[in-house]
Amino acid sequence: MSLLRRQRYLVLLLVSGLLVPLLTELAGSWLEATLGRTPNQLIQLLAICVALAVSLWALYLALGRQKPLELVPREQRPSRFPGLIVLVGPGKEGADPKKLSHNPAIEYHLSHDEAGGEPLRVCWLVATAGEKGSMPVAMEVQKRYEDRCDLIIETLKDAFDLEETYQLIQRIYAQKAAEKGLAPDQIIADFTGGTKPMSAGAVLACREECWPMQYMTGGRKDIASVPIFVRFTPVR
């Protein structure tokens, strides 16, 4: 089947160039022999051609429908965590906010039963303020998942202030987690989204106590968006 998918253009060319004219000619000859050249015969011949075209298109779509490739082996993925921190960026100009990395990160910890662990209960959305900030995106995420888990928006004043992100992530683990009944090791931080200084600040905040981290890979049409569990032990 994979070979057919890769060669589906040739398959379509072969079928449309050889089989369709042959089948149409056979159908026309049969109808002419049985019914003669009448309006009804022409209508039936047209219906056959339409049915063949629809069937060919369905075959083409079926051959082209392929499950996105998953680059991360299952043993390198995290289990589900009841707590999640995600960095929310506005995305590139014209990007669909629903396809940004924080969405599959949230979905993974909500829905992937085969990953084990405990389903997501609390998610901190780290967004940026300002005219071009990611607060509107974070608010949309909050509305999208508010009936499935508790989503809390935490705001950064400066998307390029590494220390501000560092301090915020530290506060979530040290103070805000306990307010939601979670221990620090029950929370995983996803540092995929946001600006590079935000990602660096999140990683530095987690490294000191070796708190769990993940990074979302893929995200293209042909590659599934899957988290990889980031293991990091600093040298003492």
Domain containing residue 186: CATH number: 3.40.50.10770
Q: β-strands 187-190, 150-156: how paired?
A: unpaired
Residues 6+ away with beta carbon under 8 Å from 14: none
Do 49 and 124 sit in the same domain of this protein?
Answer: no
Q: Last residue of a domain, which of 21, 36, 64?
A: 64
3-state secondary structure of 2: helix
Domain holding 54, by residue range, is 2-64
Flag whether 235 is in a domain.
Answer: no
Residues 181, 208: one domain? yes
Per-residue pLDDT of the chain (236 residues; tens, 9 = 90+): 444 454 454 555 555 555 556 566 666 565 566 655 566 655 666 666 666 666 666 555 555 556 667 778 889 999 999 999 999 988 776 666 677 889 999 999 998 888 889 999 999 999 999 888 999 999 999 999 999 999 999 999 999 999 999 999 999 999 999 999 999 999 999 999 999 999 999 999 998 888 999 999 986 667 788 999 997 776 76
- 6 close to 47: Cβ distance less than 8 angstroms: no
Same domain, 97 and 133: yes
Same domain, 170 and 110: yes
User: Residue 15: inside a domain, yes or no?
Assistant: yes
236 inside domain: no
* Alpha-carbon gap, residue 69 to 73, rounded angstroms: 11
Number of domains in the chain: 2
* CA 129 to chain centroid: 25
**Last residue in a domain, options 64, 86, 106:** 64
User: For the whole prediction, is pTM greater than 0.85?
Assistant: no
Residue 118 and residue 52 in one domain: no
Whether residue 97 sits in one domain with residue 193: yes
Last residue of a domain, which of 45, 64, 83? 64
Q: Clarify whether residues 90 and 204 are in a common domain.
A: yes
